[in-house]
Structure 1
Amino acid sequence: MKRLISFLFVVVNCTITLYSQKRAPQPIGISGDWTIQQDFSDEFDRNINKNKWSTNIDNWPAWSSDSRKVWIKNKRLQMSIDWEKHKKNGKQLYFKSGILTSKKKIKYGYFEVKMKGVPRFPGASPAFWLYSRVRNSGQNVKYIEIDCPELQSKQRDNDIISWNAVHINKNDVRMPIRQETGDGVGPSFDPSKKFHVYGCLWTKDKIEFYMDGKRIGRTVQNKFHKYAMNLIVSLGLREPYYFYDRNGIRQPVPTPKRPSKFPMISEVEYVRVWKKASKKNSNQEDLDSDTFDLYSDQNERLLILNFREVSDKNKASIIISDIQGKVIYNKESISNRNLEISTSNIKSGIYIVTIENGNKTYTRKVIVK
């Protein structure tokens, strides 16, 4: 059986290349061989996929999220923000807005959005970003975020686009690495006038920011941004409708009536996420036979993973995805040396197996009959 699987790997490589060239979109302005990740990508050509996205995330102290303010129209994701006086946890608030959050988390890849800003400035910011609340990291960090980017978020100039890599330590000290374009720095334009493509390359060594296919900024400081994160598209409230208190917490500014040009709507044409398929540039290595074995059982009903060694410090994980990037199996914190995965509920086809063991990542392609 091991011989059969090894032979099929060569065939699969050809199949995936043909599929990618024919159907799968590639990042704008980024070279290389990329595999689209369907669990984090959307062309918004139908109703919101509730298996993929959540619209009821609400943890903002100065306003509220509302799932009714997210919809799809004319093959575009639309989000609104409006004045709506209400109370949350006994606190008087004045605005509600839309948000779209991935249900799954992802670590590393290229993240791209085509979106347009809002007509009123200042007061609201369309954004494309990643975040995670880190638990038991051992790295003095409790929260991480990558903004790629935030539009119209700075009250001093409508054209400023913010690109940030942020982490908050265990003492709640916010430590951002900020970059901005607009206001005379780099490309300058009104983001509300037309759609632009914004992107972020996130690897274990660096974070790079892109606009319309051109790199406009980067940071090599990636010490804390090494944990899986949720992907978010949002339309958030901005100054002058909140202020920061002495603890750095946003607080609502009393707003007794609806301001002019509210409600506002932001639009997104697509969200696309890829992982690098090329081994040389993806921080992935060829299968090391001294590390583990991966093979099918005699009846071809089980995929069997046997580790030579599993470190208690760096427990292993395995992800199985189809050739479109949709995750169909995910198991983390594997501490046992042996793992059996039933293939009885997996449709026949080609699958990519990604295994992390310690600080190394391996990929292998298999066929389920």
Structure 2
Amino acid sequence: MSFQSDESQAQTSRNNLPFTAQPTEKWKIRWDRSDDFNGDSVDWRKWNASPENFGAWVWDNQNNTSVADGTVRLTMRKLDEPVTVGRRAPTPYTSGMLKSHVKGTYGYYEARIKGAPLFPGVCPAFWLYSRIDDTILAEGETRYSEIDIVELTQRGDRLEGNEKVADFNLHAILSNGKPGIAGRSWQRPNDARFKADQANELKLPFDPRDDFHIYGCDVTPETITWFVDGQQVGQKPNRYWHREMNVAISLGLRPPYSIYTPKGFVPSDVDAADAFPTSMEVDYVRIWQRIP
């Protein structure tokens, strides 16, 4: 598999077409969900300043997002004292996440990303996700859609080569006919029943922490197709990913600094004194829609 040089990527980032666009294709860029980060601060008209919390850390965009030199930097920090937000368990970890105000479904999604230097321990991610609608009761109907355009460096050990493993996965919640949370039937890519249609794993031919690379995803009513530096790296049928979704870029916590419990991920007791802070960088996020 051949990947483009960073020089050609930089040139591509200045045009208004997807990196994979063909000469006969027509595209319209959606600036309400796209950002070149050319200012001196995050444009909160596009991005949610206080997204909901759901991990072993909390989002603190005021202290963990910054824009300079044409990129946005998202940082994970470990505080001296744990913080408590809402009903969530106390955690010493805070991070940054940009979640779009505007939602969409089909189109081409692209970002140019440089991973965080820490490995293992954090996961730079570019993804799409909907809200969970527990009012949907018809059995088999989709309550939640999530498309992971890319998740980087989330393997929790230092085995040689694991820093190059990237994931391009699909998650969904279907209704089992019951109301509320009891009616959620998760379709996860690590479940053997759904792996063939929802899991994509690739060992990249480069270390994503060393430089910027372009990660893209073409979402159509029929298929979901993933790209790295313009090269197709996966395709799955679009079975459940038709709900309106927010665009997100984020830096999440991973093992060994978090562990999974019956109540979800919580911070571990592993010493993290010298590991944090650590930051990912994003040159741009761009979303296009096809013009018939």
2: CA distance between counterparts of 1:223 and 1:90? 33
The separation in 2 between residues aligned to 1:236 and 1:145, in whole angstroms, is 16
User: RMSD of the TM alignment (CA)?
Assistant: 1.8
Whichever of the two has the greater Rg, that structure is: 1
Asked if 1 retains the 8 angstrom alpha-carbon contact of 2:144 and 2:243, the reply is: no
Stretch of structure 1 that moved more, 125-134 or 209-218: 125-134
Q: How does 1:208-219 map to 2 (within 5 A)?
A: 208-219=225-236
1:188 to 197, 205, 208: 205
**Native 8 Å contact 2:145 2:242 kept in 1:** no
CA distance in 2, matches of 1:134, 1:140: 12
Note the C-alpha offset of 1:90.
Answer: 6.2
Residues 259 and 144 of structure 1: CA distance in aligned 2, closer, same or farther (over 3 Å): farther
Distance 1:200 1:276 in 2: 13
Q: Mean Cα displacement is larger for which, 43-52 or 134-143? A: 134-143
Q: Determine whether 1:162 maps to 2:167.
A: yes
Matched, 1:102 2:100: yes
1:210-238 Cα deviation digits (max 9, x unpaired): 00011110101x22101110000101111
Q: Equivalent residue of 1:105, what SS?
A: strand
Q: What whole-Å deviation, never above 9, does each CA across 1:345-367 have from its counterpart, x for those lacking one?
A: xxxxxxxxxxxxxxxxxxxxxxx
Q: Secondary structure at the match of 1:144?
A: strand
- Distance change >3 Å, CA 202–CA 83, structure 1 → 2: same
* CA deviation map 1:13-41 (0-9, x unaligned): xxxxxxxxxx9611112321111000111
**8 A Cα contact 1:48 1:71, kept in partner:** yes
SS in 1 for 2:184: coil
The letter of the residue matching 2:103 is: K
Q: Report the CA distance shift for 1:110/1:224 in structure 2 as closer, same or farther (over 3 A).
A: same
CA contact (8 A) 1:181 1:188 kept: no
Work out whether 1:59 is the aligned partner of 2:53.
yes
* CA offset digits 1:302-351 (Å, max 9, x no partner): xxxxxxxxxxxxxxxxxxxxxxxxxxxxxxxxxxxxxxxxxxxxxxxxxx
Alignment partners' CA distance in 2, 1:145 and 1:41:
19
SS in 1 for 2:32: helix
**Deviation at 1:91?**
2.0
Identical aligned residues as a percent: 32
Unpaired segments of 5 or more residues in structure 2?
1-13, 175-182, 190-197
Aligned to 1:25: 16
Structure 1 residues 92, 134: CA separation in 2 closer, same or farther (over 3 Å shift)? closer
CA distance in 2, matches of 1:52, 1:158: 32
Task: For 2:207 and 2:247, locate their aligned partners in 1 and report how far apart those are by CA, in whole Å.
Answer: 25
Q: CA deviation at 1:172?
A: 4.4
Shift of 1:148: 0.6
| Structure 1 residue 175, shift from structure 2 partner | 2.6
Contact 1:83 1:262 in 2 (8 A): yes
1:254 pairs with 223, 245, 269, which one? 269
Query: For residues 9-158 of structure 1, what are the structure 2 equivalents within 5 Å?
Result: 25-31=16-22, 32-46=25-39, 47-67=41-61, 68-84=63-79, 85-88=82-85, 89=87, 91-135=89-133, 136-137=135-136, 138=138, 139-156=140-157, 157-158=162-163
User: What is residue 171 of structure 1 aligned with on the other side?
Assistant: 184
Matched, 1:203 2:203: no
Contact 1:24/1:36 (CA < 8 Å) preserved in 2? no
